[in-house]
């Protein structure tokens, strides 16, 4: 269901007419349109945006941990179109229990490292990702540092035994 | 090195690609394949980047960049600082573009706050400092890139000018590198007395210095042989892999965030976007030299037309009061106490702010939940995006060319790993 505030965003209207069930909400805050997409549709919507709406660039993929709310994680895709000089943000909610979402590496190869980073930092797995490994933390690291229940100083060290 | 009898086709799948150098002989006497570990201490990787190269003679079959050696958890640390304190962390993301990082963070938070107006003098000073920063970054890039390829003297010329820029930074902020000069609500300090003379002296002489670099390299036969026709990758691949900045402009795309999504009054300045179409290492060099000239133009305009007036926003809840007011006015003292002990609160919401850093698009995704600390700060750094295209630039080319290609990408590993 497309909210009224997004009726003026051309890309949002086009997604809504093509995939009527994909959009679960959205808003335009401070001039930045944001669309909430049902996780099952994310790859199709992205492919549509890239091939037919000229959003050739995927600026970044990241996540936000909203502990203790459920679903816990919000995965954000920041898209950019050079021709239209426009930015668009897509968001998907991912629950802690499932903690999986489809990868968009098949649409933009740029997603590869960003999704690895989200996996590394939040522990969200991306289905069909070609090479889902940790990217910034060491391979034998335990835990996902950017989760809100992960202490800033890590699990291994405390200030007491320094 | 030792001979291995097993043939490994691809090393992508192995976790944490194992370190040893291997020599693989498929059929005795024919092609000899070698897995070579380049970095993390190799001088031409400009920091601690490790690339695992699979070689067939001198041809690179595959390249696997391995990053994360400089990961310092800056994003996590931002979450426990107050909004203003986190400015000092943004400096440490990219040591050659700390003012761009300050700027994008300040712009993002100011956009979140909403009802805060940055006075023109602060905006123009921000532009001037960001452009000096661009010169600084490009100078370090040019010096080290030329050094990699074998032209040593360029390095000394570049660092001579860089020293002047660092002195200007020190004069403004008290720091040469980690300036933290751009703060939420304006600047950290008032521009010092006599800055016009210092900046003026530097910027009047600078275009002739760029001439010197061009004289050294432009038609230097060794430089041309090493850079022309090297590192060509189709534009579609570059865009698809998330490359931004001078690399894209050297492939013919006229995209610069300063022009397309102007911020901090860049729309009041007159400058061009240098582009090339050759898409090779030489074109990237030409684009960056062109950008140096344009930056010099912007700084000159900022110097000549610098507006008078306040250098901080009129927002007592966010900006620290003047010392004199704090000593004489009760209200100012209360604000000072609140800002220092608790920090200020920022309206809940989210912002994705992008600026053009020397390396490309730098964008901060800042999320607030209405408290005095950032809920999430995501840094989309240009080096991370650009480095992803590394295999596309190296694979199928000669090993010797990889040094030129790597240099032309101009990445900073601190920026990649954050």
Q: What is the pLDDT of residues A132-152, one digit of tens each?
A: 888 888 888 888 989 988 888
For residue B406, the model assigns a pLDDT of 87
Q: Is A137 on the interface with B (CB under 8 A)?
A: yes
Higher pLDDT, A8 or A97: A97
Query: Per CATH, is B74-114+117-314+347-417 categorized as 1.10.3720.10?
Result: no
Task: Give the per-residue pLDDT at B136.
Answer: 93
- CB contacts of A108 in chain B (<8 Å) are 240, 242
Whether pLDDT at B244 is above 80: yes
- pTM, two decimal places: 0.89
- Rounded to 10 degrees, the C-alpha dihedral B292/B185/B414/B80 comes to 180
pLDDT for the residue B317: 87
Domain contains A39: yes
DSSP 8-state code for residue B398: B
Are B75 and A133 an interchain contact pair (Cβ–Cβ within 8 Å)? no
pLDDT at B43: 67
Residues of B in contact with A110 (CB under 8 A): 240-242, 385, 388
**Domain at A85, CATH number:** 3.30.460.80
Q: Is there a domain that residue A137 lies in?
A: no
**Cβ contacts of A134 on chain B, cutoff 8 Å:** 68
The two structure tokens encoding residue A46 = 């992205």
Residues of chain A with Cβ-Cβ distance to B73 below 8 Å are: 145, 152
Q: Give the pair of three-digit tokens for residue A10.
A: 């051309």
Token pair for residue A126? Answer: 């991306």
Residue B117 Cα to chain centre, angstroms? 27
**Residue B4: pLDDT over 60:** no
Residue A118 inside a domain? The answer is yes
Residue B198 has pLDDT above 90, yes or no: yes
Residue A132 lies in a domain: no
Residue of B116, B26, B3, B48 lying closest to B411 (CA atoms): B48
B267 contacts in A (CB within 8 Å)? Answer: none
- pLDDT tens digits for range B369-390: 989 999 999 999 999 989 999 8
Residue B261 sits at the chain A interface (C-beta within 8 Å): yes
**Mean pLDDT score, B214-232:** 87
Start-end ranges of CATH 1.10.645.10 in chain B?
Answer: 74-114+117-314+347-417
Nearest of B213, B96, B94, B197 to residue B161 by alpha carbon: B213
Question: Number of helices and strands (H, E) in chain A?
Answer: 3, 7
Contacts of A76 in chain B (CB under 8 A): 365
Residue B95 forms contact with A (CB below 8 Å): no
In a domain, A72, yes or no: yes
Non-local CB neighbours of B271 within 8 Å, separated by 6+ positions: B258, B294, B297, B298
Q: How many CB atoms lie within 10 A of CB B24?
A: 19
Distance from the Cα of B353 to chain A's closest Cα (Å) equals 10
Q: Which residue has the higher pLDDT, B29 or A9?
A: A9
Q: Does A156 touch chain B (CB under 8 A)?
A: no
Q: In Å, how far are A115, A127, B48, B243 from B73, measured between CA atoms?
A: 17, 26, 16, 23
Q: Is the pLDDT of residue B7 over 60?
A: no
> Domain range spanning residue A23?
4-127
Which residues partner with A123 through β-bridges?
none
Reported ipTM: the value is: 0.90
- Interface membership of A56 toward B (CB under 8 Å): yes
Q: Is residue A143 part of a domain?
A: no
B213 contacts B289 by C-beta, under 8 angstroms: yes
In whole angstroms, what is the distance from residue A6 CA to residue B31 CA? 60
**Among the listed residues B403, B384, B416, the one whose alpha carbon sits nearest the alpha carbon of residue B63:** B403
pLDDT at A37 over 50: yes
Q: Is the pLDDT of residue B1 over 80?
A: no
Among the partner residues A58, A138, A145, nearest to B76 by beta-carbon distance: A145
DSSP symbol at B47: S
B306-327 pLDDT per residue, tens: 998 888 888 888 888 888 888 8
pLDDT of B70: 87
Residue appearing with tokens 């430089």: B223
Nearest CB to B68 within list A110, A136, A152: A136
**Residue A12 C-alpha from the chain's centroid:** 17
Structurally, chain A folds into a number of domains equal to 1
What pLDDT digit, counting tens, does each position of B33-73 carry?
788 888 777 766 677 888 888 888 888 888 888 888 888 88
**How far is A92 from A35, CA to CA, in rounded Å?**
9
Q: Are B369 and B375 in contact (CB under 8 A)?
A: yes
Q: How far is CA B67 from the centre of its chain?
A: 17
C-alpha to C-alpha distance for B255 and A35, rounded to whole angstroms: 25
**Rounded to whole angstroms, how far apart are CA atoms A57 and A81?**
6
């Amino acid at each position: 269901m497309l909210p009224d505030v997004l009726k003026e965003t051309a890309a949002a209207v086009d997604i809504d007419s093509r995939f009527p069930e994909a959009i679960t909400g959205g808003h335009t805050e401070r001039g930045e349109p944001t669309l909430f997409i049902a996780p099952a549709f994310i790859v199709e919507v992205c492919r549509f945006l890239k091939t037919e709406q000229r959003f050739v660039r995927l600026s970044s993929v990241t996540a936000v941990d909203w502990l203790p709310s459920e679903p816990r994680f919000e995965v954000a895709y920041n898209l950019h179109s050079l021709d239209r000089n426009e930015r668009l943000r897509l968001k998907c909610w991912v629950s802690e229990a499932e903690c999986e979402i489809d990868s968009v590496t098949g649409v933009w190869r740029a997603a590869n490292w960003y999704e690895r980073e989200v996996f590394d930092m939040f522990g969200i797995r991306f289905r069909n990702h070609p090479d889902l490994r940790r990217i910034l933390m060491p391979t034998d690291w335990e835990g996902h540092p950017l989760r809100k229940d992960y202490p800033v100083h890590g699990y291994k060290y405390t200030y007491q035994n320094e | 090195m030792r001979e291995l009898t097993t043939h490994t086709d691809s090393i992508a799948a192995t976790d944490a690609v194992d370190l040893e150098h291997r020599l693989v002989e498929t059929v005795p006497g024919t092609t000899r394949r070698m897995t070579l570990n380049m970095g993390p201490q190799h001088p031409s990787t400009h920091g601690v980047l490790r690339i695992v190269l699979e070689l067939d003679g001198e041809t690179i079959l595959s390249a696997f960049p391995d990053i994360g050696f400089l990961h310092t958890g800056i994003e996590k640390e931002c979450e426990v600082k107050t909004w203003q304190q986190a400015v000092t962390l943004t400096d440490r993301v990219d040591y050659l573009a700390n003012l761009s990082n300050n700027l994008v963070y300040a712009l993002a938070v100011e956009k979140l706050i909403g009802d805060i107006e940055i006075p023109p003098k602060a905006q123009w000073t921000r532009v001037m400092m960001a452009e000096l920063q661009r010169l600084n970054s490009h100078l370090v890039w040019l010096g080290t890139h030329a050094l990699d390829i074998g032209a040593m003297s360029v390095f000394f010329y570049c660092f001579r000018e860089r020293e002047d820029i660092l002195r200007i930074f020190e004069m403004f902020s008290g720091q040469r590198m980690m300036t933290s000069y751009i703060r939420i609500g304006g600047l950290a300090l008032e521009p010092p007395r006599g800055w016009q003379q210092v900046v003026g002296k530097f910027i009047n002489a600078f275009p002739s210095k760029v001439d010197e670099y061009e004289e050294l390299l432009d038609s230097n036969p060794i430089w041309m042989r090493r850079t022309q026709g090297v590192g060509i990758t189709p534009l579609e691949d570059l865009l698809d892999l998330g490359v931004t900045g001078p690399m894209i402009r050297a492939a013919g795309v006229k995209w610069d965030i300063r022009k397309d999504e102007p911020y901090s009054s860049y729309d009041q300045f007159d400058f061009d976007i240098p582009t090339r179409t050759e898409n090779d290492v030489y074109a990237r060099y030409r684009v960056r030299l062109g950008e140096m000239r344009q930056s010099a133009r912007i700084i000159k305009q900022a110097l000549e037309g610098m507006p008078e007036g306040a250098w901080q926003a009129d927002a007592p809840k966010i900006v620290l009061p003047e010392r004199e007011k704090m000593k004489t006015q009760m209200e100012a003292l209360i604000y000072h106490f609140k800002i220092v002990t608790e920090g200020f609160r920022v309206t809940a919401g989210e912002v994705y702010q992008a600026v053009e850093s020397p390396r490309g698009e730098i964008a901060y995704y800042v999320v607030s939940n209405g408290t005095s600390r950032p809920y999430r700060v995501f840094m989309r750094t240009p080096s991370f995006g650009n480095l992803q295209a590394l295999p596309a630039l190296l694979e199928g080319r000669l090993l010797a060319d990889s040094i030129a290609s790597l240099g032309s990408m101009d990445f900073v590993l601190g920026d990649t790993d954050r």
